[in-house]
């Protein structure tokens, strides 16, 4: 076997060596960077080649490929070279004449490197090179040329796939189904969101009763020709007379707020000028209808015009809570700001009875909050209120549920890593927090009070929902005690307020698109209100299993696997492995027509791994995947891949990995650490530069998960897995990065710099494509039009199809 590998893979290299040896003695230089010094070492050629051939054969055997490839030899050569030096960055074949050899089959665009950009960190003791720093300027002509060239390369590549148009056509058909949101009542009218199928954005409808004729109330599709203006947030007044709505353009996090009357014959906007520069905001009306509270930031120093909101990279600090008096013409009032803690962020909500204003203070993305309460029930808003800090430390997370006069109910992690319900009486502050419902073995995900005193709690139990219902204040179980849910389903949305006698909730699963149920607390009976169906989709043809596998520390990790019924475990199935693993966010069962199209027409399977870093099993699960334990996330993901291979679901050459945002970081780190495990890697809008992420837009808030690169002890952890700084001259799986020009959450420079580095360092030794797809007029994901979502999916799955050698099945 070794002879066959040598004959197939080594011959091209030997041709190069023979040509070079005719001119001068060949040296294989191993470069090691130590304080910017380069150290060279000569090794024997024959001895080196024998070791490389043995390694290449091992790589071939593990790959599952039908035949060996040139990149296997190169990967073995680089791997064997790196074993000689601990911090080797690259290997080059060179001669005294300066001739170099490139083996990349792809014509990657020429991208300028500026080797002079060096950051001296930690009192000058640490040096970090950043040769693509210039790509951090989104407005430069050079960056725009880079975007154009990379997009042209990618489009040329995916357009050659025979599956691209078939996938896009079928996905368009699958997306073309009616989608309803849960009804909710405001004033005397009911409202719900609806999309007829291929509408760019969902439309808000209004009806006088649940069986009344619906009419369009607010249609975002009329606000732009291409459907890239979306409804980011909204709020009705308590009596339903007014509607404040926040719009985002091109997916940016910046929000523009306008106000209109809900009367059918009223003009669309009550004020000539909107509220600008809101961001990471909700809208909280006072119950007298005079105005609302919202969050804003100082406008960026340089934005050429309004359409470029979201293309800037300025850091977002000094968030403020403002009060806008509707129709007064007066400047908005500053309600709260903390310049001494410029990174802190604030949430504002008005209590159910309208008497109190709650201020929820966060210092980062960590689930730890302060809670201030102010009495605003008998005063007009004229400035900052008098705050009562009922929680003035960052020891736990608090979510307001409701209040009965001075008694407030909260969902909290205080002395309860899986959360519990507590109450606090403003009239008896000396008593403090009193337990109402203790924590259980399951994790509280949401609480809601309807019908005056009925408390609904949704728990996470092994990554699916169960519910329990009680009456307050005496915490008596209701009968029935739970809302009906199909096995494996989760509650995706729930509507109903304290004064409503019923609750609507929508449930779905990996294979069922959605059921809206109405539970009436007067009769204690559930009734199916609406069921979503898709032409051509039969959920009985699919199966969903949950398997558990072992990861680092002997921890058991659950993973859902979705496939066609009767799928053979022969190791030949194309597989897409997805995870997130961060920021206390659970990845739950979700319905995806894209995934189902892949399963149905490419004979694929989808695996969704509940790795550490999320909240699937409470606070400890989250903490085990952050800061100096972040490697657990990457280990969990790689062990998920190994489990899928060892159990026969797939093999490395048929396995693709995908994740977005923090999940993009996950893919980037794992592609560096274990390239042989995967046949394809797709990293969406990922955080890739772990030495500079905190310098752009809201990145400073992520130091709670990642650590602060300005601190040496955190930097030493980050640099070990930072995707940008761990690219090696090795074979990679087919690698696609995606980003968007208006992503002001994880700015696109992360993906720009990584793809440039990958193409430069790994491109010459990898026979798989390394590319980037850069969406225009889109952001981090929210607000994308249906057309954009379909086109993006078609491009990504066409790329994956070429990498995994997939065939279309009608």
**What would you report as the CA-atom Rg of the chain, rounded to the nearest whole angstrom?**
28
Distance CA 546, CA 118 (A): 48
User: b/e string for 253-275 if b means 16 or more Cβ within 10 A?
Assistant: bbbbbbbbebeeeeeeeeeeebb
Q: What is the pLDDT of residue 667?
A: 99
Q: Angle CA(38)–CA(39)–CA(45) in degrees, nearest 5?
A: 125
Residue matched to tokens 């159990």: 647
Q: Which residue has the higher pLDDT, 75 or 791?
A: 791
The DSSP secondary structure of 620-654, one letter per residue, reads HHHHTTSGGGTHHHHHHHHHHHHHHHHTTS--GGG
pLDDT at position 13 over 90: no
CA 596 to CA 509: how far, in whole Å?
Answer: 12
User: Distance of CA 91 to CAs 50, 79, 275, 721, 761, Å?
Assistant: 17, 10, 56, 20, 10
The three-class DSSP label of residue 423 is strand
Segment 319-331 mean pLDDT: 97
What's the pLDDT at 22? 35
Tell me how long the chain is: 810
- Give the active site residue among 161, 202, 563, 661: 661
Please report the domains of the chain, with CATH numbers, ordered by start residue.
Answer: 2-103 (no CATH), 120-172+538-804 (3.40.50.1820)
Which pLDDT score is estimated for 571?
97
Q: Which two tokens stand for residue 683?
A: 């990293």
What does the pLDDT read at residue 64? 60
The mean per-residue pLDDT over the stretch 329-348 comes to: 97
pLDDT one-digit tens code per residue, 495-545: 999 999 999 999 999 999 999 999 999 999 999 999 999 998 999 999 999
3-state secondary structure of 161: coil
Average pLDDT over residues 186-201: 98
pLDDT interval class at 49 (50, 70, 90): low
SS3 for 314?
Answer: coil
The set of long-range contacts for 46-49, using a CB threshold of 8 Å and a minimum separation of 24, is 48/77, 48/80, 49/10
pLDDT at 82 over 50: no
From CA 299, how far away is CA 542, in angstroms rounded? 50
| pLDDT given at position 58 | 76
Specify whether the CB–CB gap between 399 and 411 falls below 8 A: yes
Q: What is the pLDDT of residue 9?
A: 34
pTM of the predicted structure, to 2 decimals? 0.89
The torsion angles phi and psi of 46, rounded to 5 degrees, stand at -65, -45
**661 a catalytic residue:** yes
Pair 324, 306: CB distance under 8 Å: no
CA 481, 487, 488, 490 dihedral sign is negative
* Cα–Cα–Cα angle for 291, 294, 295, rounded to 5 degrees: 155
Alpha-carbon gap, residue 552 to 543, rounded angstroms: 29
Backbone angles phi, psi at 15, to 5 degrees: -60, -45
pLDDT, residue 308, reads 76
Residues 202-215 have a mean pLDDT of 98
Q: Please state, in angstroms and rounded to a whole number, the distance separating the CA atoms of residues 527 and 6.
A: 69
pLDDT, residue 46, reads 59
Average pLDDT, the chain: 90
* Residue tagged active-site, from 743, 744, 750, 785: 743
Q: Residues 633-663: pLDDT tens digits?
A: 999 999 999 999 999 999 999 999 999 999 9
Residue 6's pLDDT band, with cuts at 50, 70 and 90, is very low
Q: How far is CA 157 from the centre of its chain?
A: 26
Give the β-pairing of 605-609 and 575-578.
parallel
Give the tens place of pLDDT for each residue, 155-177.
999 999 989 999 999 999 999 99
In whole angstroms, give the CA distance from residue 662 to residue 645.
Answer: 25
Please tell me the predicted confidence (pLDDT) of residue 641.
99
Q: Give the pLDDT confidence score for residue 365 in this predicted structure.
A: 97
Q: What is the pLDDT of residue 366?
A: 96
Least confident of 50-59, 184-193, 651-660: 50-59
Q: 766 an active-site residue?
A: no
Cα 29–chain centre separation = 41
pLDDT band at 783 (very low <50, low <70, confident <90, very high): very high
Quote the pLDDT of residue 3. Answer: 32
- Per residue in 98-147, pLDDT (tens digit) is 223 334 678 999 999 999 999 999 999 899 999 999 999 999 999 999 99
- The predicted-structure confidence for 230-287, as pLDDT tens digits, reads as follows 999 999 999 999 999 999 999 999 999 999 999 998 878 999 999 999 999 999 999 9
* Among 450, 580, 380, residue whose Cα is nearest residue 185: 450
What DSSP element (H or E) covers 400? strand 398-404
pLDDT above 90 coverage of the chain, percent: 83
Q: What three-state secondary structure class fits 672?
A: helix
The average pLDDT across 374-390 equals 93
Model pLDDT, residue 32: 31
Q: Which of 70, 164, 324, 780 is catalytic?
A: 780
* pLDDT of 695 above 50: yes
For residue 304, pLDDT beyond 70? no
In the 8-state DSSP scheme, what is residue 299? P
Report which of 528, 540, 555, 517 is spatially closest to residue 633, judged by C-alpha positions: 555
Active site residue 780: yes
Mean of pLDDT values over 201-215? 98
């Amino acid at each position: 076997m070794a002879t066959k590998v040598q004959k197939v893979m080594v011959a091209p290299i030997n041709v190069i060596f023979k040509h070079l040896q005719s001119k001068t003695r060949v040296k294989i230089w191993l470069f090691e960077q130590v304080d910017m010094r380069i150290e060279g070492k000569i090794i024997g050629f024959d001895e080196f080649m024998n070791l490389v051939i043995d390694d290449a054969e091992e790589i071939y055997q593990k790959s599952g490929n039908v035949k060996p490839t040139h990149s296997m030899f190169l990967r073995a050569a680089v791997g064997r070279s790196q074993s000689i030096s601990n911090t080797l960055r690259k290997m080059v074949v060179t001669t005294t004449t300066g001739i170099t050899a490139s083996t990349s089959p792809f014509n990657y665009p020429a991208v300028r490197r500026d080797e002079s950009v060096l950051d001296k960190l930690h009192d000058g003791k640490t040096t970090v090179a950043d040769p693509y720093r210039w790509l951090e300027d989104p407005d430069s002509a050079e960056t725009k040329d880079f975007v154009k060239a990379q997009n042209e390369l990618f489009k040329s590549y995916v357009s050659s796939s025979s599956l691209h148009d078939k996938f896009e056509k079928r996905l368009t058909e699958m997306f073309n189904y009616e989608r309803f949101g849960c009804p909710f009542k405001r004033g005397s009218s009911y409202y719900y969101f609806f999309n007829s199928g291929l509408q760019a954005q969902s439309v808000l409808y209004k009806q006088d009763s649940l069986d009344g004729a619906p009419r369009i109330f607010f249609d975002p599709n009329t606000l732009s020709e291409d459907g890239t203006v979306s409804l980011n947030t909204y709020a009705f007044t308590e009596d339903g007379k007014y509607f404040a709505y926040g719009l985002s353009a091109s997916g940016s996090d910046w929000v523009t707020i306008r106000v209109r009357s809900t009367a059918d014959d009223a003009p669309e906007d009550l004020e000539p000028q909107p509220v600008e520069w809101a961001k990471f905001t909700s809208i909280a009306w006072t119950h007298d209808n005079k105005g609302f509270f919202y969050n804003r930031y100082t406008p960026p120093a340089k934005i050429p015009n309004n359409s470029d909101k979201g293309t800037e990279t300025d850091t977002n600090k000094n968030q403020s809570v403002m009060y806008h008096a509707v129709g007064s013409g007066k400047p908005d009032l500053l309600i709260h700001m903390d310049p001494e803690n410029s990174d802190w962020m604030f949430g504002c909500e008005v209590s159910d009875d309208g008497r109190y204003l709650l201020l929820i203070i966060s210092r980062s993305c960590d689930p730890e909050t302060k809670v201030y309460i102010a009495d605003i029930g008998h005063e007009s808003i004229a400035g900052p209120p008098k705050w009562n800090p009922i929680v003035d430390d960052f020891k736990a997370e608090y979510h307001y549920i409701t209040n009965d006069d001075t008694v407030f109910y909260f969902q909290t992690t205080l002395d309860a890593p899986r959360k519990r319900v507590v109450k606090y009486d403003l009239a008896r502050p000396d008593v403090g927090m009193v337990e109402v419902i203790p924590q259980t073995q399951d994790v509280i995900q949401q609480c809601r009070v309807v019908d005056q005193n009925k408390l609904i709690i949704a728990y996470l139990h092994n990554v699916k929902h169960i519910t329990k219902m009680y009456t307050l204040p005496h915490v008596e179980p209701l009968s029935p005690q739970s809302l009906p849910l199909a096995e494996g389903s989760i509650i995706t949305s729930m509507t109903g307020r304290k004064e409503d006698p019923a609750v609507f909730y929508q449930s779905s699963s990996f294979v069922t698109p959605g059921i809206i149920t109405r539970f009436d607390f007067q009769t204690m009976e559930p009734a199916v209100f609406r069921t979503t169906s898709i032409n051509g989709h039969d959920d009985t043809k699919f199966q969903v299993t949950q398997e558990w596998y072992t990861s680092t520390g002997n921890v058991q990790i659950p993973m859902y696997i979705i496939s066609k019924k009767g799928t053979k475990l022969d190791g030949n199935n194309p597989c897409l492995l997805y995870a997130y693993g961060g920021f206390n966010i659970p990845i739950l069962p979700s319905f995806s027509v894209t995934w189902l199209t892949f399963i149905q027409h490419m004979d694929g399977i989808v695996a969704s791994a509940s790795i550490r870093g999320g909240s699937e099993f409470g606070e400890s699960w989250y903490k085990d995947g952050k800061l100096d334990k972040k490697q657990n996330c990457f280990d969990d993901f790689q062990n998920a891949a190994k489990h899928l291979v060892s159990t026969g679901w797939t093999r490395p050459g048929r396995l693709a990995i995908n994740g977005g945002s923090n999940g993009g970081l996950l893919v980037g780190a794992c592609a560096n650490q274990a390239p042989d495990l995967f046949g394809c890697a797709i990293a969406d809008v990922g955080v890739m530069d772990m030495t500079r992420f905190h310098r752009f837009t809201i990145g400073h808030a992520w130091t709670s998960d990642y650590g602060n690169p300005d601190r040496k002890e955190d930097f030493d952890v980050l640099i070990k897995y930072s995707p940008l700084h761990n690219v090696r001259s090795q074979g990679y799986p087919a690698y696609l990065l995606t980003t968007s020009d208006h992503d002001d959450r994880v700015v696109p420079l992360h993906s720009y710099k990584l793809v440039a580095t990958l193409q430069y360092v790994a491109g010459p030794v990898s026979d798989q494509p390394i590319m980037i797809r850069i969406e225009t007029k889109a952001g981090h994901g929210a607000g994308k039009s249906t057309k954009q979502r379909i086109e993006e999916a078609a491009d990504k799955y066409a790329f994956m199809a070429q990498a995994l050698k997939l065939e279309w099945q009608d």
